[in-house]
Amino acid sequence: LFVDTPLTDGMSVRVEGNQAHYLINVMRLAEGAAVKLFDDVSGEYLAKVSARGKRDLTLTIESLLRPRDVVPDFWLCAAPIKKARFDFLGEKACELGVARFVPVLTDRAVVDKVKDDRLRGTMIEAAEQCERTALPQIAALTKLDALLKTWPEGRHLFFADERLHESSGATLAQALVRHTGPAAVLIGPEGGFTDSENAAIRAHPAAVPVSLGPRILRAETAAIAATAVWMAAQGD
Ligand code: SAM
């Protein structure tokens, strides 16, 4: 269970709302029952139910079970897509271990807003399910040109280009043999990048154009596949 406050041994935590409903009515936890909590700061703790009301619970932190995960240094930069598919992408990005998720606004965007709270909620649920103790950071929606202008030095920007396969360009797996270290993958919207966006990305010194194979993947499939390839190459 995620708690949005830094935890320490001996501390009492009051749980209300959906989380309390889940613990009381779904898990049917009694006083004294054990619960695992994480805070995205120091790690995962063992807690016990010290008081149980009808709609709220008090948990008392007993001990640190494991420190916060050290997540692989990988960013997923992706154009927002329609709601259900974006939720799916957020969930899978968290499960696969993405450190930072950057929604990118491009010319062919069909969706030009991101509900940060909804995305964060999806990622919290995914983290609880996969026992991840560090949540992905969620960046503000960033225009493509601003992303390129402020790109940090030393971080490879793997640019997923569905047209590259025709010109026998490198796959991400091949590029990873030569490019190690902090990385990100950039995925376009359903309509793809425009020619001028494509040229601007390619002109960036950090950009490494890569193919994800001969088939044109949906944006969320491309993002998940690229993340999985990168993680597999790192052994993460
Ligand atoms: N504009 C394209 C079209 O309509 O033919 C499709 C864009 S695709 C649905 C969305 C994004 O996924 C692309 O911008 C690209 O970043 C990524 N993508 C999809 N398939 C890919 C592939 N085979 N190799 C590399 N990137 C791919």
- Closest ligand 1 atom number to CA of residue 218: 9
Mean pLDDT over each residue of the chain, to the nearest integer: 95
Whether the per-residue pLDDT at 236 is higher than 80: the answer is no
The CB of 211 under 6 Å from ligand 1? The reply is yes
Instruction: Determine which residue's CA is closest to atom 27 belonging to ligand 1.
Output: 162
Give the pLDDT mean for 214-225. Answer: 97
Predicted TM-score (pTM) of the model is 0.93
Residues of the chain with CATH 2.40.240.20: 12-67
Q: What's residue 167's pLDDT?
A: 80
Among the four given CATH numbers 2.40.240.20, 1.25.40.10, 3.30.499.10, 1.10.287.130, the one describing domain 12-67: 2.40.240.20
The CB of 172 under 6 Å from ligand 1? The reply is no
Whether the per-residue pLDDT at 74 is higher than 90: the answer is yes
**What is the percent of the chain where pLDDT is above 70?**
100
Query: Residue 226: what are its φ and ψ, rounded to 5°?
Result: -65, -40
| Contact between 87 and 101 (Cβ < 8 Å) | no
Write the CATH number of the domain with boundaries 74-234: 3.40.1280.10
CA distance 85 to 165: 25
DSSP 109: -
CA atoms lying within 13 Å on the CB side of residue 28: 0
Whether the per-residue pLDDT at 110 is higher than 90: the answer is no
CA distance 52 to 30: 7
Residues of the chain with CATH 3.40.1280.10: 74-234
